[in-house]
Amino acid sequence: MAGALLVQLQDSTMPPVNSIRSAWRSGAQLSPPIETERLTLRTLRKSDLEQLLAIQSRPDVARYLYWEPRKREAVQQWLAPAMATPALEADNQCLTLAAVERESDRLAGTLSLFLRSLEHQQGEIGFIFHPEFQGRGLAAEGARVVLRLGFEVVQLHRIFGHCDGRNLPSARLMERLGMRQEAKLIQNEWVKGEWTDDWIYAILDEEWRQAWRTRP
Ligand SMILES: CC(C)(COP(=O)(O)OP(=O)(O)OC[C@H]1O[C@@H](n2cnc3c(N)ncnc32)[C@H](O)[C@@H]1OP(=O)(O)O)[C@@H](O)C(=O)NCCC(=O)NCCS
């Protein structure tokens, strides 16, 4: 894509971030799309509604999420604020990126970065992919960029993620991203009519940098 920012995640060296940083800082817009090997990560648009509905309405996608499969109106309500690109300068602001598979030009999923605490420089990552785009490493490919944005642009100290203890694809993904399992909270949440376990994963900025230095 012309003018798009190519993120070389395979590089053994720390990838340059100046262009991402300046794009981010100019009007708090992540203006150029970010390209990975197979994905274009960009902000969400109104025209994504149908493809988002195809993802968020699926019972298998929502199985371990806090919400039930969404109908069109609920997706519309979710999409309106998600199209914004906040500067992540206040607690609980969230940046959501569309992950578009370039080959098919389809919305493979969404990736989110929440600023959970400005004071403590804590962020949270989240990911939701259409089953047709799962099992191919695409979520991991996009999530690495989100971690990089969190550490190198937003300057977070720690990024965590959590999942239902039965959500093994999510747990495996966080492990693949180099996140440590910090806790297995047993039946600490009442979700969809049952007590559920919550597994917490996290990675620190120095662990992220170390992983980049030692990457073969
Ligand atoms: C969580 C979720 C995003 C994980 O997606 P995913 O596609 O399994 O994750 P990855 O991108 O890391 O892909 C990894 C899988 O692709 C396989 N794979 C195939 N080709 C690959 C490649 N070129 N590179 C890397 N992995 C590849 C891996 O072997 C792995 O499969 P495995 O887990 O069976 O071993 C997905 O399950 C999802 O959207 N679930 C519904 C919503 C949800 O629960 N979100 C999480 C809330 S906590």
| Options 3.40.50.300, 3.30.450.20, 3.40.630.30, 3.90.850.10; CATH of 5-214 | 3.40.630.30
The first and second tokens of residue 20, run together, are 């991402």
Q: Using a pLDDT cut of 70, give the percent of the chain over it.
A: 83
User: Which residue among 173, 175, 191, 192 has the greatest number of ligand 1 atoms within 8 angstroms of its CB, and so is best to mutate?
Assistant: 173
Segment 130-182, tens digit of pLDDT? 999 999 999 999 999 999 999 988 899 999 999 999 999 999 999 999 999 99
The one-character DSSP state at 16 is P
> How far, in Å, from the CA of 175 to the mean position of ligand 1?
11
pLDDT at 214: 67
pLDDT at 21: 47
The first and second tokens of residue 98, run together, are 């569309």
pLDDT at 84: 86
Residue range 17-36: mean pLDDT, rounded:
53
> How far, in Å, from the CA of 169 to the mean position of ligand 1?
6
Name the β-bridge partners of 164: 198
Answer yes or no: pTM beyond 0.75.
yes
Residues whose beta carbon lies within 6 Å of some atom of ligand 1 = 61, 64-65, 109, 127-129, 134-140, 163, 167, 169-170, 172-173, 176
Tally Cβ neighbours within 10 Å of residue 125.
24
Of ligand 1's listed atoms, the one at least distance from the Cα of 172 is 33
The one-character DSSP state at 65 is S
Domain residue spans of the chain:
5-214
Q: Are 197 and 187 in contact (CB under 8 A)?
A: yes
